[in-house]
Amino acid sequence: MRHGPASTTRLCLAALVLVAGASAKSLRTYHIGCSTTDNTTQCADPTNYARSLGDTHHWAKCTQLGCGMECVYINTLINGNRLHELSDSSWDGVVCASYPNGAHLGVAVDLAYSDSCYQQALKTNPDCILYLSSVWTYNEGRPWNDEWLNTTAPDYDPRYHANYTSKKWHEDYIKAAQAKYGPSRARLLPFAHAMAKLNDRILSGGTTVLSSVYQLYLDGIHLNEKGVYLCAAVQYAVLFNADPHGAARTFMYFDKQATVDETYANLAWDIAWETVNELSAWTRVGNTGGVKPVAVTAVRPAHAASGPVEVFTISGRAARSIGGTGRAASARTAVYVMTRDGLRLLTGAER
């Protein structure tokens, strides 16, 4: 391992004291959609996910199998007398999933039903945020990008289930929402975008953890434990505007306990964090705080006036906060030198 310049004061970091620079965050969100929304709520165990990172997430949902916003709004919220749930409590966010069946009525119509739900929540909390979730494509044995990159007009294409599982649809949807409410009030939960990034990484040979993105699927559309874990990381990163690295790997999937291995968890955290940051114009990640600040105290042993910096392991969140790199890294080990300006993260070439 190579060390920094001779003039740099080197310390053996014998002790680290990590102190959260911001208090834990608490959020309340209401989720509306079909069974894919069940995948990102009760199957992903968001309460446990947030708790493991020091935050609190209370959530409720209104879902109907195989239904989009129009169907859920009319059949369940209105006819089921549940619309009041959106205004009876104060919600920090309303999450709507576009999943229409039959002839597609277009972005404007879907947004109108999402707006009807959002307006109810605004009655109690005028600072409530509307989140639109991108639904992943179907598992039908063809290349994942066939549907994801489909740009056929009009919005609905009978050759596929619908273009609402396409990149173009989701991006048209969030653009329309941000044009209506402003970028800080309408945000994207890019579940499908994260899966697209993972698919590209697998196809390019960038990871060997998975051989196909369809390994995240339980059936034709629903996700297994690995799939919902990726969604949980995306959801936490956007809702809390914070890095998902280091979250609990054991959670409740439906009514059973599930655990993802550390190798896959690191991949999911990386993919999620990279995705939400790359799409910051729509997710707003990094625009209102981002990763919690971390304070570090370095103690020099009496016998170590100089010498190489000790290699130490800390959480990914802390490493990026200290290093100020602003990007996710799979490695959980970081090497620092102490300079007159404070701790500096050594690059790979300097190690």
For residue 351, pLDDT over 60 is answered with no
- Model confidence at 139, pLDDT cuts 50, 70, 90, reads confident
- Name which of 19-23, 25-29, 133-137, 313-317 the model is least confident about: 313-317
For residue 231, pLDDT over 70 is answered with yes
Nearest to 55 by CA among 28, 95, 16, 86: 28
pLDDT value of residue 304: 42
What's phi and psi for 181, nearest 5 deg? -110, -15
Nearest to 38 by CA among 305, 211, 222, 240: 222
In whole angstroms, give the CA distance from residue 197 to residue 139: 16
Helix pair angle (191-203, 262-278), 10° resolution? 120
Nearest to 133 by CA among 156, 149, 110: 110
Q: Report which of residues 178 and 346 the model is more confident about.
A: 178
Is 57:244 a contact under the CB 8 Å cutoff? Answer: no
Report the predicted TM-score, pTM, of the whole model to 2 decimal places.
0.77
pLDDT value of residue 99: 64
Is 39:231 a contact under the CB 8 Å cutoff? Answer: yes
Vertex 71: Cα angle to 62 and 284 (nearest 5): 60
Q: Report which of residues 137 and 92 the model is more confident about.
A: 92
Alpha helices of 12-106 — where are they, by DSSP H? 35-40, 46-52, 69-71, 85-88
pLDDT value of residue 316: 38
Alpha helices of the chain — where are they, by DSSP H? 35-40, 46-52, 69-71, 85-88, 107-124, 145-148, 167-181, 191-203, 225-239, 262-278, 280-283, 316-323
Cβ of 42: how many Cβ atoms within 10 Å?
Answer: 19
Mean pLDDT calculated for residue range 127-139: 93
pLDDT value of residue 301: 37
C-alpha separations of 9 from 309, 314, 336, 339 in Å: 10, 22, 11, 6
pLDDT value of residue 110: 83
In whole angstroms, give the CA distance from residue 31 to residue 58: 11
Is 58:121 a contact under the CB 8 Å cutoff? Answer: no
- Model confidence at 276, pLDDT cuts 50, 70, 90, reads very high
Looking at domain 24-283, does it have CATH number 3.40.140.10? no
Beta bridge partners of 250: 259
- The tokens for 11 are 């310390």
Q: For tokens 């802390």, what's the residue?
A: 318
pLDDT value of residue 23: 54
pLDDT value of residue 268: 97
pLDDT value of residue 261: 97
- Name which of 19-23, 80-84, 114-118, 241-245 the model is least confident about: 19-23
Question: Torsion angle, CA of 308/310/315/320, rounded to 10 degrees?
Answer: -10
For residue 225, pLDDT over 60 is answered with yes
Mean pLDDT calculated for residue range 143-156: 72
Helix (H, G, I), strand (E, B) or coil at 231: helix
- The tokens for 254 are 């439906």
pLDDT value of residue 150: 78
Q: What is the β-pairing status of strands 250-253 and 129-133?
A: unpaired
Q: For tokens 């990026």, what's the residue?
A: 320
Helix (H, G, I), strand (E, B) or coil at 257: strand
- Name which of 17-21, 184-188, 279-283 the model is least confident about: 17-21
pLDDT value of residue 152: 63
Q: For tokens 């955290």, what's the residue?
A: 269
pLDDT value of residue 58: 97
pLDDT value of residue 310: 36
Is 231:276 a contact under the CB 8 Å cutoff? Answer: no
Vertex 342: Cα angle to 338 and 345 (nearest 5): 65
For the chain, the average pLDDT equals 77
pLDDT value of residue 290: 38
Give 48-82 pLDDT, tens digit per residue: 999 999 999 999 999 988 777 888 888 889 999 99
Residues above pLDDT 90, as percent of the chain: 52
Q: What residue ranges of the chain are covered by domains with CATH 3.40.50.1110?
A: 24-283
What's at 170, amino acid-wise?
A: H
